[in-house]
Structure formats: structure tokens, C-alpha cells
Chain A
């Protein structure tokens, strides 16, 4: 079967750095995506990794290790508006997107 795992909830302080981990086991692999989702809204795209290594985009970075089935999303200089759910998703061999359970991040002042 297909399985993606993330921590359910995380809490961090404004200005800090937080790392959200994601492990996956899927039938085939065509890339790993991170999305941010605020309550009542559709997800918004944050990052895409298809090769091993780190992708950096402003305050957000994402890392992938295909051999370990592991990724993380790193958020730097946390802001209150970063409080949201963060979804890890893998595009599998059938080109479908398989979503993890999401991590609810709360940023405290």
C-alpha cells in the first residue's frame, strides 16, 4: 500500500526555525510536493523535489532523500502568518498525488 507519514501537530515561536518531516512509501515516485493550507482554503504550492538534495526558496527550504523515502520542509524566521497546515504529497507511478495527513503548525508570539 501507499503511506505517507508526518507529525500531526507542531508548535514553534515567532522568529524561530522549524523542520517538518515526511516519510513515504509509494508505488513509484514522480516527485514530492509541499503545500501550505490555511483553514477553509485550498492548498498553495510551496516546493517540489524530484532529485535528492535541498531546494531553497526564500524562507522555505525542502530536502529529499529518495533512498530513505524522506523529506523535510524547513521554515526559517517564522512569522505568525505561517500558522497553517503543511501537507506533504508524493506523485506516484500512476501520476496520482498521494497526500500525507498534514502537520498543523502553530506559531506563538
Chain B
């Protein structure tokens, strides 16, 4: 059973470009979570999604950031017009229905130049 997959593992964008981060949950998992980790800091929750629904987006910045988890395909975290402060590791986690254990992917390291 493959774990949570994230791609790309490393992403470099210039200021003002768009970044798209993908997360494929574990097989059978219908819940996806996105977390951000700034350098030398702990993980911060961003958004929690179920298939086609955003359940909790209390950690998402108000502008430029969006997330989706379509009926088919991976979850996407989209950052528009990136700035240097967006440079961080972005982790995705998934869990099955009715479970509180979250399984994390290897992360995408975004660098904005």
C-alpha cells in the first residue's frame, strides 16, 4: 500500500509566478490536510478537505492561496503570485473516514527566488 505521495518534491518559482502542489492520499483515504512548515518552525495547519468539500480552511491565508480535492485525482494546493515569504515545506496528510490518525507525505519544498 503506497503512502501519501506529493509532487513535485522540490519546486522553484520566481516572485509573481504560480505554484501548484499535488497530493495523492493513501488508497481508501478520503480526508486530506495541508500543513506548512517555515524554516526552523513547527508545522502549521492550513486546510482540511474531503472529496469535493473544504471542511476547515481556518489556517489558509486570505489571499493567493486555494485548495481543492476533486472527485477524481489528487488534491491541489495552489499559490498565486508567490512571494519570498511563501518559501517553505508544504506537507500533505491523509486519513480514512472515521480515523484520527493522519499519515504524512514527504513534503514539497517551495523556494521562491
Is the A/B pair a real complex?
A: no
